[in-house]
Amino acid sequence: MALVNENYLKLQSNYLFSDIAKKVNSFKLTHPKEAIIRMGIGDVTQPLVPAVLEAMHKAVDEMGTKEGFHGYGPEQGYPFLVDAIIKNDYAARGIGIDAGEVFVSDGAKSDTGNIGDILRQGNSVGVTDPVYPVYIDTNVMAGRAGALENGKWSDIVYIPCTAENGFVPDIPLRRIDILYLCYPNNPTGTTLTHQELEKWVNYALANDVLIMYDSAYEAYIRDPDVPHSIYEIKRAKKVAIEFRSFSKTAGFTGVRCAYAVVPKELNGFTLNGEKVSLNKLWNRRHTTKFNGTSYITQRGAEAVYSPEGKEQVKATIDYYMINAKILKDGLQSCGMTVYGGDNAPYLWIKTPKGVTSWKFFDTLLYEANIVGTPGVGFGPSGEGYLRLTAFGDREETIEAVERIKKM
């Protein structure tokens, strides 16, 4: 008899996007003629840039020749991509990263979800609240979350990020072993300054906390005081793993390529207090359970760093950030309170006084035919907010603002 991992059973009632889909489907049944604008799920809409396409076409052609065929590649990624990552994402910012510290993968979702494999079940986990749900759900699966009580998992430490604290998390009173930070933040679209992030690195250093730093939206940063990498903070390599993705940087949500940096000087501990290299453990996990991102994909990702690739990708990101500005300016001009959108493709909208996230979601859907994401779906501190994304087409973004103005 195969016994199941019963932790999975705890998750069933907790799936935000299927709840949204159900509501949208029932709206469509009763309003078949209305044109819906989807600003809910955070997928991109603009096509891959020409430099990436060209590189991938070339790689496909290579694969059709005896000399250019590539079978299994190095699980950690081809040196051509790892070198491009180190040179452009780190060395260019004065950060030294060794080739053995970079692990190319098929996505930051997989990486942030799988990283828990190398950590003991009994660790206590802290998350900023609201939060990208993957950090919580994967810890529920691993048995680290306890029981769900009033919308919170009993063994997870929730660190509120709301307008009241300027979306800057405070150090928690309860001890945590693992902390997830995501900046620029999904869902709030807010960021931390260098000094604010330094506070967390110092806290982690003083308390032996492991930071999982997800910077999937790094490419959207405009403000020079916002760090692009946690390793811009001194000694952060001793406490942090960093996750990056080509999904939002270069439209790879359907292509799939990302990477994790696991520094060699970063240690975990055995119960007896002996140090263990997390780099070695992750390498073992990665090479055992993952067989590498495809050659064609990695050639595409490499092209993101070519001079043309950089320019083209920047143009797409600028396109989304102009959408963000149009949305933010438009909503503010109707008297709405809007956060984010300056260094991130997400806008975090305060619902009108006394209106819940789900009620506001319904109002937007029924009165403006716009689909957002109710803030409470990202955690208890998301109640009273709604997330809109700037990943849509320009025309739809302008149309969405017009519809909201008429509401």
Write the interaction track for ligand PLP spanning residues 195-214; mark x where CB under 6 A is met and - where it is not: -------------------x
CB of 37 to ligand PLP, least distance (A): 19
- Tally of CB atoms within 10 A around 2: 3
CB of 150 to ligand PLP, least distance (A): 25
Contact with ligand PLP (CB under 6 A) among 42, 133, 251, 263: 42
Q: Is 245 in the site for ligand PLP (CB under 6 A)?
A: yes
Cβ atoms 309, 303 nearer than 8 A = yes
Q: Is 392 in the site for ligand PLP (CB under 6 A)?
A: no
In which element (H, E) is residue 150 found?
none
Name which of 110, 97, 100, 179 is nearest 138 in CA terms.
110
> ∠ CA 19-22-26 to the nearest 5 degrees?
145
Q: Which is nearer to ligand PLP, 41 or 147 (CB)?
A: 41
**Upper half-sphere CA count for residue 293 (Cβ side, 13 Å):** 30
CB of 127 to ligand PLP, least distance (A): 12
Cα gap 256→282, rounded to integer Å: 20
Q: Is 253 in the site for ligand PLP (CB under 6 A)?
A: yes
Q: Which of the stretches 5-13, 105-113, 139-147, 360-368 binds ligand PLP when contact is defined by CB under 6 A? A: 105-113
Cα gap 244→286, rounded to integer Å: 16
Residue closest to ligand PLP (Cβ): 107
The set of residues, in sequence order, having a beta carbon less than 8 Å from that of 35 and lying 6+ positions away, is 369
**Upper half-sphere CA count for residue 335 (Cβ side, 13 Å):** 4
Residues binding ligand PLP: number (CB under 6 A): 13
Cβ atoms 304, 255 nearer than 8 A = no
Using CB under 6 A as the binding rule, the residues of this chain from 131 to 190 that contact ligand PLP are: 132, 182, 186
Contact with ligand PLP (CB under 6 A) among 38, 109, 228, 237: 109
CB of 215 to ligand PLP, least distance (A): 9
- Interface residues with ligand PLP (CB under 6 A) are 42, 107-109, 132, 182, 186, 214, 216, 245, 247, 253, 258
